[in-house]
Structure 1
Amino acid sequence: MRVNCVGAVVFDAADRLLLIKRGRPPGVGLWSIPGGRVETGETDETAVRREVFEETGLRVHEVGRLAGAVDRPGPGGVTYVIRDYLASVSPGTPVAGDDAADVRWCDRAELARLPITEGLLETLTDWGVLPGRADGAR
């Protein structure tokens, strides 16, 4: 079974990436970008806005371009089809909620030291959307 999911690649003014610490499986205790399942009848944009708000308390100002998509295996033969979008949020302090155990802004050096979900660093690198890019582009 394939399950549609979305994620949000969000940066603050200091070019730090918004991360949540997963509070539930899969990947409990690991850091990842905010996101989750697309609910019946939702567009990807609506799902990105909802997931970011539920997990961080921040309101998405704009859902931008698709950064990329990946398939990840889940329990019981499920495949998570994850589409990650660049997004910007309105100013505010993130607060962990829903299935997020913690939330933080993270620079490139911190990202390399945190226990993150499998493949996240490589995927963000391949898509050219890591924080602290020398050319400033995304």
Structure 2
Amino acid sequence: MSQAPKLAALAVVIRADHVLLVQRKNEPDAGLWGFPGGHVELGETALAAAARELHEETGVTAHPLRYLKNIDVITTGTDGAVRFHFLLAAVLCDYVVGDPVANDDASAAEWVPVRDILGNQRACSAHVDDVIRAATRC
């Protein structure tokens, strides 16, 4: 673990009462469903990173519209030491084209009914439901 938190961006794409989610292949949150996303590169905005990571992970193209919220993800080991520390910038994106296919560090990618997520019908990463609520209030 580095001594500084890592900045990552999440692409939040909602279309026809469905949200695009990926099942994570790697820790943290391996096996859980969440938004496509990943690290922000040096000199890249989180808005641009969200669109890039979305395409890399799913093949879907979308235009980033605006920031929804920030999420701190800090996990510790049994010894209390920090294992992961991410600041996630959730970015609302407008769908353009593409059918989701799992690539990169996603083991699955699909359009999931928003009601399933809000009804806890899918094992999701923390705050996925909060971000969806923020996105659907826009």
Give the TM-score category using the shorter length: 0.7 to 0.9
Q: Which of residues 38, 58, 61 is equivalent to 1:59?
A: 61
Partner in structure 2 of residue 29 of structure 1? 31
Q: Deviations over 1:4-26 (max 9, x none)?
A: 111011012x1210100001111
Superposition RMSD in Å: 1.7
2:99 paired with 1:93: yes
Kindly state the Cα deviation for residue 84 of structure 1 after the two structures are TM-superposed: 0.5
Alpha-carbon separation, structure 2, partners of 1:65 and 1:84: 9
**Counterpart mapping for 1:38-53 below 5 A:** 38-53=40-55
Name the SS of the counterpart of 1:11 in structure 2.
Answer: strand
**Counterpart mapping for 1:1-138 below 5 A:** 1-12=4-15, 14-60=16-62, 62-74=63-75, 77=82, 78-111=84-117, 112-125=120-133, 127=134, 129-130=135-136, 137-138=137-138
Q: Deviations over 1:45-102 (max 9, x none)?
A: 2211210011110112x21111111111146624211111110122221111000000
Extract unaligned runs of 5+ from structure 2: none
Name the SS of the counterpart of 2:7 in structure 1.
Answer: strand
Q: Between Structure 1 and Structure 2, which shows a larger proportion of strand residues? A: 2
Indicate the percent of aligned positions where both proteins have the same amino acid. 30
Higher deviation after alignment, 67-76 or 78-87 = 67-76
Alpha-carbon separation, structure 1, partners of 2:131 and 2:13: 15
| 8 A contact 2:101–2:109 mirrored in 1 | yes
Extract unaligned runs of 5+ from structure 1: 131-136
TM-score (norm. length: structure 2): 0.84
